[in-house]
Chains A and B, each alone.
Chain A
Amino acid sequence: MENHEALQPFVDDIYTCNRTRCGFCREECPVYRVKRLETYSSRGRMLAARGLLEGVLEPSGELQEVMDDCLMCGYCQARCALHNLDIFSAVREELRAAGYVSPKHEKTAAKILEEGTLFDRPAPIHRQGTTPLYLGCAYQNKPHEVDKIVSVLGKVGIDALISDEVCCSYIVGAVGLEKEFGQAQERFRQIYGPHLAGSILTVCPTCTATLRDEYGLPVQHALVAVAQRLEGMNLVRVSRKVTYHDPCHLGRMLGVTEEPRRILRALGMELVEMEHHGTFSTCCGGGGGVLDVDRTLAVEVSKNRVRDAVAVGVDTIVTACPTCQPTLLRGSGRVANELGVFVDVLDLWQLLDEALAPCQNDPSDRNFRRR
């Protein structure tokens, strides 16, 4: 057996998968749905991991491409009892150690480490307030959406404090850049240190799961806080038939599946469930860094998700993730001609903001500071 250090903690899991072969992970894996080759399903990847361990497979650019085509959405893990995602990250770590890593992922990691952010920001967002709200890179890049979120929080009595922050660096760890992920965590703790003692509200599902599971921080997704405060609020009800797309990290990893649905019902929406929903929802196509390395695959996955919505007779998807919404919209645009319908993808925060009665305060929030 080859000595692949990163895989050693998972040898038992890998052989257990190999000898179990139940295949429950396979058919609904969003990548397998597109590729239709076992290699791209979880149990196929597990066999690849075994191949590496036994020297049947050598690290290679081709293996790296196969492993990079994983959305890390966790569907397989929810259908299993093994550490599927950790194993896929460990395989990527092994590949990286052998010199096989996507230049895009390395560039992303370098940017995060150097600049503390995944994207080029127009201007860092700051706001005076009392409850720390960690936005994450995607929302830092969406000031308009942040206005809505802060407005909603204000209307339910939460005074959001937005301060200096750096990227949670989820993507660095997920693609197997373990050492860099450790450095990034240290940096996060330095920058966000003043708020680490108390509870932190979050809005990006991926950041929330990362800060909870990798950093061990007591974070709460802001939608949960809002759902807890909605009762008795004055809501403008909207009569509309919609479906809700569970972001993988919010629904599957954090178990926040009921709160968004409760909010939608409170808004008067008729909620129709897609075949894959809740814990067993399927990815929008934007997960695991696939958007960076295989945009074609990401778009095909997003098109399948839009088809899921059309299959249950709705033309509006509501979601609550800064990655899912644009990714699904991209898929919707690509598949509109095929389906004969354009499926709109709406942000739950926006719907909430429109439905909640305006605050008594001046609607122009003077606590924002944008540099």
Chain B
Amino acid sequence: MTDCSALQEALVELQAFLGEGRATDSAIHRMAYSRDWSPRPKEMIDLPDIVAVPQSTDDVVRIVEVALRHHLPVVPFAGGTGMGGSVVAWKGGILVETKGMNRVLEVDPANMSVTAQAGITLWELNEKLAPYGLWLPHQPESKRACTIGASIGCDNDSTFGVRYGKIMDCLTDVVVVTGRGEAIRFGHRKASFSSTGYNLMDLFVAAEGTLGVVTEATLRVVTLPKTRLVRGWVFRTLVDAARALERTLASGLSVESAHINCRRRLHFYTHSFRQKYGRDPDVPEWAESILFLSFAGDEEVVDFSLGKARQILEGEFGGELVREQEMVEGYWDSKHRLDFVPFKQKWPDSQRQKKFGAADVGVPMGHLEEMYRAFLEIAAKYGQDILGMTVYNETPNKVSPSISFAVFTDDSTQEAVADFYRYVREMSLKAVELEGTMSTYIGDGDRLGGFSEREHGRSYQYMKELKALFDPDNIMNPGKKFESRWIKD
């Protein structure tokens, strides 16, 4: 329980430098920050005590100083689209609305670099880069709402990971306000890497704000491609799709995006097609998986790439090109363009009855089939409606599964939600058993902290000591990384 007088004093101190409009304990504003996209009982509400909107690194330093003085949690909030509860202030405290820091500080085309405040959305940043012929290729599906800081904080997936990697592969420098209330620059300025000292910058990727608040980032950007082409191929097994992708990459082709979907997930796209066009798409009954690839660059290279890919995928692995290109375009609308029919955006209607949720485990490609079989069993065991599996590939030029085992879950009661987290728990254990990880793009959030010691073993203790180094008073996003509300031993 937070001390009320401490809160009142903290609020007065915050308002003194932020102004009343940017520091508030009004229930209305706190309510607007009461949840993210993680499954939770629909009546659950987590109110922070204070909402503060900084506009600069200095503002954040002063906010952390206030928090330290009054022993209050500091919870950074960004896009609010996370699936693991990372930004939920379930221990109260000062919620830091980072989207007030949304300026581009420098576009440096000569060095293919951009420096921005961490609260800018990926979408807006790319709009600012487009006139220079540049873009940041880290592109999660939440990019309309997701910020640079959020991408760093939860290390989310990117549609184009198989060519450009994730945010870590773009990041060259960050400014972080640590739990000590110090603004520190970590990284290697605009150089792509450094072998001096320790790579402390990397610690902030997937740290979920538990070490500090990221306020600025410098990112390596790339040239906008002239042409892009997206196609889909169906295969008789999941393994065929994965091996076909590996062979395609080994051939020397540069693939821009590569997503493998299971049969059930394929049916999600055939269903969307049926709804839009009023007929079934022409997809063979034997299809057990679908591989979507995109190629981008100069037109002749893209054309050649498609030809060569067809040779490999169809000639060597028995894949069949999806003839219904409209279905492929529908998939691409969901993944990248986000170009939905006005007034009929698909997300809300898909979640009227049940809520989307996922176990985001990662396993090496050789265990894909076994993990998939386990998914079907475990999801059924806990009464989850199976949506299907999508394998994102997030390391440049490698089959590198970051997997969404997606379900529709019942969030009408506490017990039903508990079943979802039992499903996540068992999936996580299975992934570790298969030489993998519990989470690839969501993060610990308020679900895996503590439990993830089973994955990390003795290194978990080093993590705790690192946490104490950056945040000795344990004020930075407490209740995450080392504690869970949902999954216990």
Please give the residue numbers on chain A whose beta carbons come within 8 Å of chain B beta carbons, in ascending order.
Answer: 12-13, 15-24, 26-27, 36-39, 41, 43-44, 47-48, 50-51, 54, 56-57, 60, 62-63, 66, 77-82, 252, 275, 279-280
Contact = CB atoms under 8 A, between A and B. Distances in A.
Nearest to B144: A24
B345 A80 contact: yes
29 contacts: A18-B42, A19-B355, A19-B411, A20-B37, A21-B36, A22-B145, A22-B345, A23-B142, A24-B347, A26-B145, A27-B121, A36-B97, A36-B102, A37-B32, A38-B80, A38-B97, A39-B29, A39-B32, A48-B31, A51-B27, A51-B28, A51-B45, A54-B45, A56-B31, A79-B340, A80-B345, A81-B348, A81-B349, A280-B342
A57 B27 CA distance: 7
A22 B347 contact: yes
Nearest to A65: B28
B32 A44 contact: yes
Interface of B: 26-29, 31-37, 42-43, 45, 47, 51, 53, 79-81, 97, 99-100, 102, 121, 123-124, 127, 142, 144-146, 338, 340, 342-349, 351-352, 355, 411
Contacts of B340: 79
Contacts of A280: 342
Contacts of B144: 22-24, 26-27
A24 B338 contact: yes
B28 A81 contact: no
B81 A38 contact: no
A57 B31 CA distance: 8
Majority DSSP secondary structure for residues of A touching B? helix
Contacts of B42: 15, 18-19
Nearest to B350: A20
B23 to A, nearest CB: 11
B47 to A, nearest CB: 8
Given A22-B145, A63-B28, A54 B348 contact: no
Contacts of B348: 13, 16-17, 20, 22, 80-82
Given A20-B37, A279-B342, 5 more contacts: A12-B352, A16-B352, A19-B37, A21-B37, A48-B32
B28 A23 contact: no
A18 B51 contact: no
A37 B53 contact: yes
B99 A36 contact: yes
A232 B97 CA distance: 56
A2 B66 CA distance: 37
Nearest to B338: A24
A27 B28 contact: no
Contacts of A15: 42
A324 B4 CA distance: 47
A79 B338 CA distance: 10
Interface centre among A19, A24, A280 (most CB of B within 10 A): A19
A17 B350 CA distance: 11
A66 B21 CA distance: 12
A21 B29 contact: no
Nearest to A77: B343
A47 B352 CA distance: 16
A160 B212 CA distance: 67
Contacts, number: 120
A38 B29 CA distance: 8
Contacts of A21: 35-37, 80-81
A57 B127 CA distance: 37
Contacts of A51: 27-28, 31, 45
A39 B28 contact: yes
Contacts of A48: 28, 31-32
B29 A37 contact: yes
A252 B343 CA distance: 10
Given A16-B351, A17-B348, A27 B145 contact: yes
Contact of A81 (B29, B53, B79, B345): B345
Contacts of A19: 37, 42, 351, 355, 411
A78 B345 CA distance: 8
B38 to A, nearest CB: 9
Nearest to B147: A27
A39 B43 CA distance: 19
Contacts of B51: 37
B308 to A, nearest CB: 37
A66 B352 CA distance: 27
A82 B32 CA distance: 18
Contacts of B26: 62
A38 B100 CA distance: 11
B31 A47 contact: yes
B333 to A, nearest CB: 13
Nearest to B27: A57
A46 B192 CA distance: 43
Contacts of B80: 21, 23, 38, 43
Given A24-B345, A54-B45, A38 B145 contact: no
A17 B32 CA distance: 12
B411 A23 contact: no
Contacts of A63: 28
A236 B81 CA distance: 52
Nearest to B47: A56
B45 A78 contact: no
A19 to B, nearest CB: 5
Nearest to A24: B144
B345 A79 contact: yes
Contact of A36 (B36, B45, B53, B124): B53
A6 to B, nearest CB: 18
Contacts of B355: 19
A62 B28 CA distance: 8
Nearest to B83: A21
Given A20-B351, A22-B348, A62-B26, A27 B32 contact: no
Given A12-B352, A56-B45, A62-B26, A38 B345 contact: no
